[in-house]
Amino acid sequence: MSTVLSALYLGPASGTAAVTTTLGAGWQVLAPETTPAAVLPLLPQVHAILDASMKVPLRQAELDTAVHLKLIATATTGADHIDSKALAARSIPLLTLKGQKQVLNELTPAAELSWMLLMACARHLRAANRHVEAGLWDREKFPGMLLKGRILGLIGCGRIGQWMSRYATAFGMRVIGYDPYLPETEWPATIERTDLDTLLQNAHAVSIHVHLSDETRGLVGPREFTLIRPGTILINTSRGAICDEDALLQALESGHLGGYGTDVLEGEPAIQTSRIWQYAQKHDNCLITPHIGGFSPDAVDIVLKFAATRIRDFFATQG
C-alpha cells in the first residue's frame, strides 16, 4: 500500500498505542478528544473510524462530510449513536462486537466483579472491614458462608453466567442454571439445567446474568423472593430493574435475603433516590459498586486490537 490511510480513533487515550501498532505501517491514526467539536472537522479526511467511546453521534449529516470513509468498526456491541442506514446507503460496513463470540468470550471483567461481590457477601466483607476501621477485632461477629459444597444458581447462562460457573466449580460449588433460551447444544457442562423455581428453592447464592428487556424487567419479583431460601446471597451485575425493588427491599428488611451484592441500580447514576442505596446507608449486607463490572483497561485493549485488526484486514482486501 503506497498511500497513507487515515483512521479516526475515538476512545481512551491509553488505547491509542494499541490501535496504532495493530493498524501498522501505512496508517495515520487521528486520536482527538471525543467531543463533536474536536471530531467533526476531521471527518472529511478519514478512511476508517474505530469507535470505542460512543460519545460522538454520527448521523447522516456528519457522515455526509466523511467523503473518503470506507468502514466503521466499533469496540462495543451497541452502536445506536451511528446511523447505520446512512452507511448502508453508501455500502459502508459497520462492524460491531455483537455476536463476535470469539472476542466477547475472552472478556471477563464483569464476571470477575460478580464473583468478587459473591465472595464479599459470603464473608460479610463490608461489615468486617468497617469493624476493623473502627478499631475493633471480633471475628465472631462475622460468620462466613463456606462456598465449597454449596449451590450457586445462575439466572442466565450466557457469557458471564458461564464464567461464573467456572469460578464456582473451582471453588467446589455445585452449579445450577435457568436459561430458557440457551439451546441444549450450547449448554455448558459446568451447569445443571433447571427451572427458575427449583433454582430459587435450592441455591445458597443466586447470580443474575440476563439482559434487561420487557420480559426480564422484574424477573425476580415478589413471588420469586418468597421462593428463595432463607439466607441466600443475591448478586446482580446485569441491570437494577431485573429485581423488583419493592420485593427486594422487603426481602432485605425482613432478613429473608442474606445479602445483596450489586453493580447496578435502577435509575443509576441518580442513585440517591434509590431505596436500595438508602437501605445500604444503614445496613452492611448490601454491597454496591458503581457499574464498574465491564470497566478494565485490559479488556478495552483486547477489543481495540480486535476492531483495529478488522479495519486493517478490510483494507488489505480492498487492493
Q: Closer to ligand NAD by CB, 69 or 152: give it.
A: 152
- Provide, rounded to whole angstroms, the least separation between the CB of residue 169 and ligand NAD: 17
CA distance 276 to 305: 38
Contacting ligand NAD (CB under 6 A), which of 72, 182, 191, 243?
A: 182
179 binds ligand NAD (CB under 6 A): yes
User: Catalytic: 268?
Assistant: yes
11 binds ligand NAD (CB under 6 A): no
Cα 311 to Cα 16, 20, 71, 103: the distances in Å are: 15, 12, 7, 15
Max distance between CA atoms of the chain, in angstroms, equals 72
Place of cell 461489615: 127
Quote the distance between the C-alpha of residue 186 and its chain's center.
Answer: 21
Question: Which of these segments, 33-41, 55-63, 159-167, 309-317, binds ligand NAD (CB under 6 A)?
Answer: 159-167
- Provide, rounded to whole angstroms, the least separation between the CB of residue 211 and ligand NAD: 4
120 binds ligand NAD (CB under 6 A): no
110 binds ligand NAD (CB under 6 A): yes
215 binds ligand NAD (CB under 6 A): yes
Options 47, 126, 291, 312, the catalytic residue: 291
- Provide, rounded to whole angstroms, the least separation between the CB of residue 115 and ligand NAD: 13
Q: Closer to ligand NAD by CB, 165 or 237: give it.
A: 237
User: Catalytic: 291?
Assistant: yes
- Provide, rounded to whole angstroms, the least separation between the CB of residue 289 and ligand NAD: 8
- Provide, rounded to whole angstroms, the least separation between the CB of residue 210 and ligand NAD: 4
160 binds ligand NAD (CB under 6 A): yes
177 binds ligand NAD (CB under 6 A): no
Q: Closer to ligand NAD by CB, 258 or 293: give it.
A: 293
Options 62, 112, 192, 268, the catalytic residue: 268
User: Catalytic: 310?
Assistant: no
- Provide, rounded to whole angstroms, the least separation between the CB of residue 292 and ligand NAD: 7
Options 239, 266, 310, 312, the catalytic residue: 239
Question: Which of these segments, 92-100, 117-125, 132-140, 209-217, binds ligand NAD (CB under 6 A)?
Answer: 209-217
Closest by Cα among 197, 255, 246, 259 to 224:
197
Q: Using CB under 6 A, which residues numbered 245 to 284 contact ligand NAD?
A: 263-264
Residues with catalytic annotation? 239, 268, 291
Residues that bind ligand NAD (CB under 6 A): 110, 155-161, 178-182, 209-212, 215-216, 219, 237-239, 263-264, 291, 293-294
